[in-house]
Amino acid sequence: MATARQTALCGFFLIWTQFIGLRSDLSGDARIVAIHSHDCYSNSELRNSDAGRFFAEPCGGWRAEQSKNSAEFYACSAKSPAKTEFCNSEIVKIRILTWATRHVAPATANIYPNSGELLRKMPLFSFSKKRKVLFVASEAAPFAKAGGLGEVMYALPSALRSLGVDVRLMIPKHSGNNTTRFLPRPILEGLRVATGSDGTKDDEPKQLICNVWQYVPQDDEKDSCVETYFLENAEYFEKRSNIYGYTDDVIRWNLLCKGTLEFLLKHDWMPDVIVCADWQCGFLPNYLATTYKAYPQLKRIATVFAIHNLYFQGMFDHRFVNEMDADDGQSPLPPFFNPRLGKINAMRRGILYADEIVTVSPNYAKEIMTKEYGEGLTDLLLERRFRVHGILNGINYADYDPATDPNVKQNYSLKHIAARRENKRELQKRFGLKEDLDAPIIAIVSRLVEQKGFDLLLPVADSLLQELGFQLVVVGSGDSKFMGFFKELAGRFPGQVSTHLQFDSVLPRLVYAGADMILVPSKYEPCGLTQMEALRYGAIPIVRKTGGLIDSVVNYDPKTRKGTGFVFEKYDPFSLAVVITRACENYGNKEVWQLIERQAMSADFSWSKSASGYASLFEEAIRYHEQEIKDSSPDAIRMT
């Protein structure tokens, strides 16, 4: 029989779930979906349509979604035995109030048959200290941004901060850093970073001298970035007009990695976890596990290596490396000025030495385990497969909001989606297309490179335009092969095809708001942001079944009338032609199309979801690192 305390807790739970409008049937065959670790989270997923979250349950345990004043747990109700599979039903949310912003450590649990059993076996929740996390990256908005990495390094740390994580960032002090609005202050001068050189050559000093600057956001700054450190060095950072593209980039990124560790040795703030962003920071886990292994201050730091694109592995094309030059990943890192350093595979090093590895989507994490997508690192990734995870990137919903976006002609929302038509009219006018609101507009907003799959369009574009009569808008730049093709296509189809073949950070907003469909036929796509941004604005994605595209776009099923886009699998022009035809046919049914638009705009890809996944991953990295320390201790070695 349940105690009075258990009965009161159960009553509170039932009342709360009813209050938020979710089903609270936890009697009889109810099952609790409890997620123990990020390993479970990445192996398989369950979409929660009510709360808009993804969960998994292959091994049991609790998973917490944390907000400032509460920790939220999720349960699902199912009538069939769940065993170690998912409950295919509604999600019920349990909120347990707390008095402080703390991380809720996962506690072991199983799937329980009813609410009484749940309360009897519910473990006490243990609260750990506020976690400290340092992101190290080559770029980060709003200071210095060259691509998607810079945006992620702004949005993800900010989202983690909102979960109560003490998160900070370290980037180089580039010459183009935005210091007009953000005013850093110097906090450390004369930081000496050993290069490994013997100093016999004037241009190969034994040490490089750096300074460290700090930017601390003010409390009244809306949507501000997190506390940020800047590693300053005139020769390798401040005198360079660009973030990337130099023959000595490998020295620059080694300086960033090693300089970060030297800075931590002299600073009074020590992170629990360092997140190393992409190959440029793959040297850091290597240094931490070897050169800096003896420093007790750094011993307990866990590392997470983030793979944004496995194709880029260093200062060379990894597909054309002979056996003599190939990096085994385990030999000592050469000195800064040794030509051998340029042949080091920093991606391999990051994967090999980090405590945990994370990619930017769950499906991409699976794909890179195969020969097709593994880029020569398949065997290593398979060896470390239990430490490889995938967490889908998000987008900034405050920034990408059609209801408030000043870059669109007519603001609109899910409740007033009909107002999109004014943006379609404006898009046709801006691009010189025939003003026909009934003609479907398919848009391309992308880098025009082979990875994005536009070679599939080359043999079928003319026929599709002639037979289906859609209009095509292309925004982006890239390889001359594709830019030339689209320019000539516009010449053959005046008033039906129009292009803007250069980078533009503003124009895509109008395209998302006015186009009916967005084409993303990528050969491979680690995550992809275009499809998420398009969904936010109600433009329906046409995507290939790969990477993050399949994690973010649900193929429309006419039988269930569910879906947010159109997906094709086989990488060939005819499969692309079929899916474009299918999308245009559904566009002809206004009732169906409006339903798809509403479902698209209802999708949730906010960073808060991604951040909670990373918070769980950090706990996993810390546990793994602590166990590694125990296993390597003298007592543990003697026992073996």
Residue 12 confidence (pLDDT) above 50: no
Tokens of 58: 């292959």
Residue at 302 is within a domain: yes
pLDDT score, position 179: 61
**Residue 562, helix vs strand vs coil:** strand
Angle CA(291)–CA(292)–CA(296) in degrees, nearest 5?
Answer: 150
Residues 383 and 521 in one domain: no
Residues 20 and 83 in one domain: yes
Residue at 405 is within a domain: no
Residue at 347 is within a domain: yes
Q: Which band of pLDDT confidence, cut at 50, 70 and 90, is reported for residue 636?
A: low
Backbone torsions φ then ψ of 612, nearest 5 degrees: -65, -35
CB atoms within 10 A of CB 233: 20
Task: Look up residue 222 and give its amino acid.
Answer: K
pLDDT digits (tens, 9 = 90+) for 377-407: 999 999 999 999 999 999 989 889 999 999 9
Residues 384 and 512 in one domain: no
Per-residue pLDDT, averaged over 508-531, amounts to 96
Residues 138 and 124 in one domain: no
Residue 463 confidence (pLDDT) above 70: yes
Residue at 558 is within a domain: yes
**Residue 134, helix vs strand vs coil:** strand
| pTM: predicted TM-score of the whole model, two decimal places | 0.79
Comparing CA positions, the residue from 350, 312, 306 lying closest to residue 156 is 306
Residue at 55 is within a domain: yes
Residues 569 and 438 in one domain: yes
Backbone torsions φ then ψ of 201, nearest 5 degrees: -105, 140
Q: Which domain-ending residue is among 128, 159, 188? A: 128
Domain that holds residue 593: 414-602
pLDDT digits (tens, 9 = 90+) for 296-341: 999 999 999 999 999 999 888 888 888 788 888 899 999 999 999 9
Cis peptide before 142 (omega within 30 of 0): yes
Residues 338 and 389 in one domain: yes
The strand ranges marked E within 297-420 are 302-307, 356-359, 388-390
Q: Which domain-ending residue is among 128, 149, 182? A: 128
Q: How far is CA 579 from CA 68, 464, 545, in A?
A: 44, 11, 12
Per-residue pLDDT, averaged over 165-192, amounts to 89
CA distance 304 to 76: 31
CA distance 140 to 172: 10
CA distance 437 to 426: 10
Residue 1 confidence (pLDDT) above 80: no
Residue 351 confidence (pLDDT) above 60: yes
Residue at 138 is within a domain: yes
Per-residue pLDDT, averaged over 264-285, amounts to 97
Per-residue pLDDT, averaged over 410-430, amounts to 95
pLDDT score, position 115: 34
* Domains of the chain: total: 3
pLDDT score, position 223: 56
pLDDT score, position 557: 97
Residues 124 and 137 in one domain: no
Residues 113 and 161 in one domain: no
Q: Which domain-ending residue is among 71, 100, 128? A: 128
Residue 53 confidence (pLDDT) above 60: no
Residue at 369 is within a domain: yes
Residues 276 and 421 in one domain: no
Residues 468 and 336 in one domain: no
Residues 625 and 575 in one domain: no
pLDDT score, position 635: 59
Please report, in angstroms and rounded to a whole number, the separation of the first and last CA atoms in the chain.
47
Q: Which band of pLDDT confidence, cut at 50, 70 and 90, is reported for residue 126?
A: very low
Residue at 222 is within a domain: no
Residue 83 confidence (pLDDT) above 60: no
Coarse DSSP helix, strand, coil percentages of the chain, rounded to the nearest 5 percent: 35, 20, 45
- The sign one gets for the Cα dihedral 392, 397, 403, 404 is negative
pLDDT digits (tens, 9 = 90+) for 550-563: 999 999 999 999 99
CA distance 477 to 508: 13
Q: What is the DSSP letter of 144?
A: B
Per-residue pLDDT, averaged over 441-470, amounts to 96
Helix residue spans in 245-311 (DSSP H): 249-266, 283-289
Residue 113 confidence (pLDDT) above 90: no
Residues 474 and 512 in one domain: yes
CATH number at residue 463: 3.40.50.2000
pLDDT digits (tens, 9 = 90+) for 610-629: 999 999 999 999 999 999 99
